[in-house]
Amino acid sequence: MNESSAHSSAPKSRRTVLRGLAATATVAVTATALTSGATATAATKPAAGAVETYTLKLVHLGRTGAPTTAHRTQLTALSGPDAGSGQVPSAGPSDPAGTVTVRVPKGRYLLDSTITTETAGGASGVDWLVRPRLDVDRDTTLVLDARTARPVDVLPPDAGAAFRHAGAFVEVAYQGTKGFANLITPSSDLRVAHLGPATERGAVRAWIDTYWNGQRGTYVLGYTFTSDRALTGLVRHPAAAELGTIVVRAAAPASGPGYGFVDFGPTVGPSPALASALQVPGSATYMVTPERGTWDVVYTAPTASDEETPNRYFALGTAVAAGGTTVLAFDTPVFGPALATSRGAKPAAVRTGNTLAVALPLLADGAGNVPSAPPHSAATTTLHRNGSLVGTRRGTPGHASFTVPAGRASYRLTATAKRPRGSVTAAWTFTSAATGSTTELPLSIVRFAPSLGPDGTAAPRRADHVGVTVRGAAERSGVRSLTVSVSADGGATWTPVPVRGGRVAVTNPGPGRSVSLRAELTDSLGNTLTQTHIDAYTTGQTAPRTA
C-alpha cells in the first residue's frame, strides 16, 4: 500500500514549486458511518471550568464487511478548545481488531478514514470515507464501513492511457475554522463516500484530480464541487473536445541539450501535481479539464553541473478553454529586459525619497518568463547623476539600490549581464528629484521576437522578420523615435533597419552564426533607452531545404 495522507488545519499555498505535492498530501478530517448507541455520561459531569469530554469509538469494516486494521482515520476539531487541530487516534490494548477508542472534547469535528483492501494480483482498493459534520456531545460509536463507498469512475478519451495517481480532497468551514483532509493514492481502484448528516449550505468544498499518461501526452482530469456534503462516488468520461490543451516547449540552454523538469498541476489546490522529465529541446503536452480552473507550470531548466543553481520559470494561473490550445515556451531567445504587465504588478524601478531602487529582470526569456537563477558570468548595474558616478552594484542582473541627493538631476542608469554566449545591456536616461511617496521611474524596454524553431534557433540564410514591441513608460506616454540596428559580427558593425508594422526585416547569416540586435528609443517626454543584445539568437547548423 503506497497511499499517503497528511493533515493540517488549512491547505498550503500553491505558489511554491509544485513537485513537493507529488510526494506529500495534506489532510484534515474524514468521517464515516452512522451513530449507534449515544448515551450521555451522567456520572462524569465536569467541574466548573473543566473541558467536557466524551468517548468516541470508531469501528472500521473492510469491503467484505469484516473488521479491518488496514485503516487510517483522522479527526480535525472545527470547534471547542482544539479548533483547527487534528489527531490520528490509534487503537489501545483493549480495543478489538478494527476498533479505535478515543476521548475527545465536546464539539464539532471533521472525520476522514482511509480503508485499504488488498485485491487480486497484489493491488490495493482504497475507500475514503468523509464525515464533514460530526457533533460530539455524548459518548458515540461510529461504524466506518468501506461498503458505503462508491467508485471514482473518471476516464480520459484514450483507451490506452495509463493511470498515474489521484488525489481526493475536502475542505469544511465552520464558524471561522476550516478543516482540511485529503488522500493521495497510486491506486486506480478508488472509492469515496459521504457519511453522516449534511453540514451548513456551501460549507463543504470537495475536489478530485486524476492523472494519466496517454498517447498524445498527459491527461489531468480534475473536478470541484461546493455543497453541504462530501462526495459519494464520481462518474466523468469527458470527450476530447471537452478538454483544453497546454503545450510546454523548452529550448536547449547555452550549455547544450539535457533534461529539464516540468511540474504541472491546478492553481487552486492542493493537488498531487505531476513532475516529469523533459528532454530539451522538446515539448510536453497536457490535456486538462477547463472547469478545474487555471493551471500552474514550473519549468526547471537543465544545469551544466550538479553544483549549478537550478534555474526555474514560473507560469502560474495559465488558462485554457475547452477545445483550445495554450503554448508555453521556456528558455527561448531573445533574452532581455521584461516588465510585468499584469494589473497591480509592482513597478520594476522606483524612487522613494532619496532612494532609487531597481528590480528589473534583465534576462527574461523570449516569452517574457522571468528566470529564478538566470545563467550569467557577471552582472553590473551603474548609476550616474549629472554625468558623475553614483555607484556600481554587482549581483542579480538588473537589481540595485542607490541613495542620491534630493535635487532634480539628470540620471543615466546602465544594467549589463554577460550570458554564457553574448550579453545584454540596457541604458536609460531620465530626470528625477526627491519624492514624498514611492514613484515609478520612467523606464522603457524593447522586446524582440524572431521566428525560431523548437530548438530556439533560426533558419540560416533566410529572410525573416523580427517582432519589435515597446513596453513601459514609452508605451504610456508615446514614442518620439525608435531605431533598430542589426549585426552579424557580434556587434562590431551595425546596420540600421526600418521598423514597419512592429517588425524589422532581417536576413539570417549562415549556419551556426548569431544575430545581434540594438534598439535606440526616445519617448515623448525625452526619456531615452539604448538596449543591446550581443548574440541575441543563433542560426541552426543546417540550412533549410529548398523546394
Cα R_g (the chain), whole angstroms: 30
pLDDT, tens digit, for every residue of 85-107? 999 999 988 899 999 999 999 99
Residue 542: how many other CB atoms lie within 10 Å: 10
* Cα gap 184→114, rounded to integer Å: 10
* pTM (predicted TM-score): 0.85
For the record, the C-alpha cell of 227 comes out as 455543497
CB 332 within 8 A of CB 365: yes
3-state secondary structure of 25: coil
β-bridge partners, 504:
466
Distance CA 97, CA 92 (A): 10
Spans in the chain with pLDDT lower than 50:
1-44, 544-547
Cell 459531569 appears where?
Answer: 45
The set of cell numbers assigned to 263 is 511540474
87 in Cβ contact with 115 (< 8 Å): no
Which domains does the chain carry?
A: 18-236 (no CATH), 241-330 (2.60.40.10), 349-538 (no CATH)
Q: For residue 7, what pLDDT is reported?
A: 40
Q: What is the pLDDT of residue 69?
A: 95
Q: Is the peptide bond before 270 cis (omega within 30 degrees of 0)?
A: yes
- Asked if 356 and 383 touch (Cβ cutoff 8 Å), the reply is yes
- Assess contact for 484 and 497: CB atoms under 8 A: yes
The region that residue 107 occupies, defined by phi over 0 for left and psi between -120 and 50 for alpha, beta otherwise, is left
What's the Cα-to-Cα distance from 159 to each of 102, 167, 221, 358, rounded to whole Å?
46, 21, 15, 53
Percentage of the residues of the chain whose pLDDT score is greater than 90: 82
CA dihedral of 466, 468, 469, 470, whole degrees rounded to 10: 160
